[in-house]
Amino acid sequence: MQAWANRGSYCLSCTLRPFFRSGVRTFTTTPALQRSKRSSKKAQEAKQTKADTSPARPSLRSSTRSGRQNVTTPDFSIIVATLLQEIKKELAERSESSLTGWQRFERYVMNACKLEDRGTRALGTLRQLKLTLQKAYINSGTKGLRAELEYLLYAEDVTSKYSVPNLEQQARVADMRFPAEWYPQARSIQRTIHLHVGPTNSGKTYQALKRLEASKSGFYAGPLRLLAQEVYHRFTANGTTCSLVTGDDVKIPEVGVSPIVSNTVEMVNLGQTYDVGVIDEIQMIGDSRRGWAWTRAVLGARAKELHLCGEQRVVPLIRQIAALTGDKLEIHRYERLNPLKVMDRSLRGDLKNLQKGDCLVAFSRLGIHALKADIEKVTGKRAAIVYGSLPAEIRTQQASLFNDPNNEYDYLVASDAIGMGLNLSCKRVIFETLVKRVPGGLVRLSVPEIKQIAGRAGRYRSAAQQGNGNSAEDDGTNVGYVSSLEEVDLPYIHQAMAIEPPPITAAGLFPPEPIFQNFAAYFPQSIPLEYIIKRVIEVSQVHPLFFMCDPHGQLSNAEVIDTVSGLRFEDQMTFMAAPMHTRDISSRGVACAFAQCVAEHSGGRLLDIPDLNLEVLEEPVSGNKEYLHDLEILHKSVILYSWLSFRFGGVFTDRTLAAHVKELVEERMVRALTEFSANKKLRKDASLRRQIALQKQIQDHKRLLAEADFDTIESEDTASIDLSTDNNSLERIGPEAQAA
């Protein structure tokens, strides 16, 4: 039996281990979450019954979250043994050949399940197998656990038939010990790497961008579309010709060639030579899932000057990489432009202690909405919200509402999405909790995460403004403060802010497409992509300076792709890298529909795809969380359509229409977030402002008609038209709506 281990990376338990343990308690709940409405026991039982009776998906793995378990039980090995017997019985009834090596497979799985949780790392392959099975059980209950066991049995059979006989050749194909040699053109250039390190709001990226703006040619690579768009707009506003290239959006000058390109880091063009390159948030080179993109850009960028901006803890790793590539390294260190202090007291759980300009940080979409509702009920003021699944444009709009001191948006409720990519003017950052849920369960924020989020406090001025040095704010009034909603979390924040996180010791890698193509040549075309990905990672070797990134996203995409027949392997590779959101059933359906269009090379018109929930655009705008969630799903689906339109232009031909639909969705999301509140008075005020704006628009409409010599006789039809909304009428936003 070959080991199913993710070699070269840390195991799940090591990855989630905190840097130190609090002496207070593991985690805390808050009044906002306690006040949020919970599902009744009857509703939960009904949901469980529905999950147990629903048919299994025709895929190798089950990613449904129905029947989710909060923790693995002490009888986990008994559960696994029971499921193994069920599988064995079914195989015997079907006379499957898989029973040939059943005893070995069963013994291997049971040995893994009986391992102690705190045992030695010497049995790494068995421990990795146990963690894989536990994760499947936690996420999807016994149904998911059984699906994982069936996949492991299938993979064992495929491995014995096609991989073991060619193991030496396959290991040679998957050899990833020398990634610097993948980019010979970059190695032929004598590069100078400028490493700009410092805390948040220290001006490190500002200095690198100044050098980029003064160059003859160059690129910026950021972790988010938001940052790439910000640099693009900044350069174009200053008169510098610049292009924007992200996965789903391309903007190039109408005349001439742009010497500077603003990218997301995955989109850096390694086939072009530049004078200056800027790679932002370089510490993400150690990210367990996206680190490979930073490694690719650092190793492969053909830039004479390569500016890397990030945290101090990345310095030892970049030194070793520069020595490996033969590049010259210069380090520039920066100090924070304004002080940052941890408060001595928390808010003691009382939202009445909030001050204008406070940013509260929470870590779930439902928790953020619940906290927003509680704040507006208690304070009578509006709260803007920002979280990861909101579109970048909406996050920017909500941040702008919060930054504007001349409106009623006194507070911001946000997730860790504010850690990068948004300019905020918040005096205090208040952690509602220090615990967030990840696919493997609950985990406390790490020291770097706490510092990154806390660093957003007190950001009133840019580095350029700070450099003037003659502002009245230099007297210390621009101090940023950090605290917590609950007293129990404050000691951990004090400790985290006082220590330096450990250095990053390895850079992420992920097999490039040629490795997958050469590896897949050893297997029949019917072998699922999911197996190919797992097997490549299993047999690959990496240098100690690197680690293999977690393939969670690629495997989730592969699970969807494997349900569609007729896709070429090259097309499967494209979909593997696509921005799919597979956790939601409707999003998975849309992704399957898109893949089917590519397989059939037809049916890619936006309005011809029934899985797209375009009908949500016809629904009345409301502050209902389900309505907002539907808009978020549609927005992600349209983003995926745009992304695919740049790769399969002959199939997905409605890129312009997709951009229009995206704007419609964003307009409705803005209204849903700004016009609806849990506070009755705020709802009435928003309704009144909307009526005033509507009346003004009607008058403008009449004036335009009069200027065009049209008949301006007032009628009910004319009075009910609102060109800025979706078939709304005065009656629908009248007194009845205000009283709701």
Determine the Cα–Cα distance for residues 181 and 736; give it in Å rounded to an integer: 69
Q: Is 547 exposed, middle or buried (0-12, 13-18, 19+ CB in 10 A)?
A: buried
295-344 residue pLDDT tens: 999 999 999 999 999 999 999 999 999 999 999 999 999 998 889 999 99
Residue 194 three-state SS: strand
Question: Which tokens sit at 93?
Answer: 């009834």
CATH number of the domain at 578-674, please?
A: 1.20.58.1080
Averaged over 422-444, what is the pLDDT? 83
From the list 587, 663, 631, the residue with the least C-alpha distance to 393 is 663
Task: Report which of residues 521 and 694 the model is more confident about.
Answer: 521
Of all residues in the chain, the percent with pLDDT exceeding 70 is 77
Is 60 exceeded by the pLDDT of residue 452? yes
Question: Which tokens sit at 594?
Answer: 């898109």
- Structure confidence at residue 365 as a pLDDT band (50, 70, 90): confident
Is 70 exceeded by the pLDDT of residue 240? yes
CB atoms within 10 A of CB 188: 8
**249-262 CB burial, b ≥16 within 10 A, e <16:** beeeeeeeebbbbb
Residue 260 three-state SS: strand
From the list 136, 128, 131, the residue with the least C-alpha distance to 61 is 136
pLDDT for 507 equals: 98
Specify which residues 482 forms β-bridges with. Answer: 342, 429
Helix 552-561 to helix 569-576 angle (10° resolution) is 130
Q: Look at the chain and count its residues.
A: 740
pLDDT for 76 equals: 86
262-281 residue pLDDT tens: 999 999 999 999 999 999 99
Do residues 680 and 737 touch, judged by C-beta distance below 8 A? no
Averaged over 544-570, what is the pLDDT? 94
115-168 residue pLDDT tens: 876 544 445 778 888 888 988 888 778 888 998 899 898 888 898 888 888 999
Domain boundaries, the chain: 54-168, 183-333, 340-462+475-498, 578-674, 680-739
From the list 477, 473, 432, the residue with the least C-alpha distance to 453 is 432
**6-17 CB burial, b ≥16 within 10 A, e <16:** bbbbebbeeeee
Q: Tell me the C-alpha to C-alpha distance, in Å, between residue 114 and each of 110, 141, 144, 231, 302.
A: 6, 19, 20, 53, 51
Strand 435-438 and strand 175-176: the pairing is: unpaired
Of all residues in the chain, the percent with pLDDT exceeding 90 is 51
Q: Tell me the C-alpha to C-alpha distance, in Å, between residue 359 and each of 345, 411, 492, 668.
A: 16, 6, 19, 24
pLDDT for 163 equals: 86
- What mean pLDDT is reported for the chain? 81
CB neighbours of 187 closer than 8 A, spacing ≥ 6? 180, 181, 325, 326
Please give the model's pTM, rounded to 2 decimal places. Answer: 0.77
53-69 residue pLDDT tens: 443 333 444 444 444 44
Do residues 212 and 260 touch, judged by C-beta distance below 8 A? yes
pLDDT for 396 equals: 86
| Count of alpha carbons within 13 angstroms of residue 393, beta-carbon side | 15
Is 60 exceeded by the pLDDT of residue 2? no
- Identify the CATH class of 340-462+475-498: alpha beta
Task: Report which of residues 21 and 182 the model is more confident about.
Answer: 182
Residue 305 three-state SS: strand
- First and final CA of the chain: distance in angstroms? 64
Q: Select the CATH number that applies to the domain covering 183-333 from these four: 1.10.3720.10, 3.40.50.300, 3.40.50.1980, 3.40.50.720.
A: 3.40.50.300
597-615 residue pLDDT tens: 999 999 899 999 999 999 9
Same fold, 183-333 and 340-462+475-498: yes
What does the DSSP assignment read for 557-596? HHHHHTTS-S--HHHHHHHHTS---TTSHHHHHHHHHHHH
Is 80 exceeded by the pLDDT of residue 681? no
Long-range CB contact pairs, 635-638, < 8 A, 24+:
635/391, 635/662, 635/665, 635/666, 635/669, 636/389, 636/579, 636/581, 636/587, 637/587, 637/590, 637/612, 637/613, 638/612, 638/662, 638/665
Task: Report which of residues 194 and 467 the model is more confident about.
Answer: 194
CB neighbours of 38 closer than 8 A, spacing ≥ 6? none
From the list 340, 287, 343, 277, the residue with the least C-alpha distance to 311 is 287
CB neighbours of 664 closer than 8 A, spacing ≥ 6? 617
Specify which residues 331 forms β-bridges with. Answer: 195
Identity of the amino acid at 717 = D
pLDDT for 160 equals: 87
Question: Which tokens sit at 685?
Answer: 């005020």
DSSP annotation of 90: H
Q: Is 225 exposed, middle or buried (0-12, 13-18, 19+ CB in 10 A)?
A: buried
Residue 431 three-state SS: strand
Do residues 430 and 485 touch, judged by C-beta distance below 8 A? yes
From the list 71, 297, 273, the residue with the least C-alpha distance to 189 is 273
Question: Which tokens sit at 211?
Answer: 């050098």
Identity of the amino acid at 494 = H
Do residues 430 and 489 touch, judged by C-beta distance below 8 A? no
pLDDT for 304 equals: 96
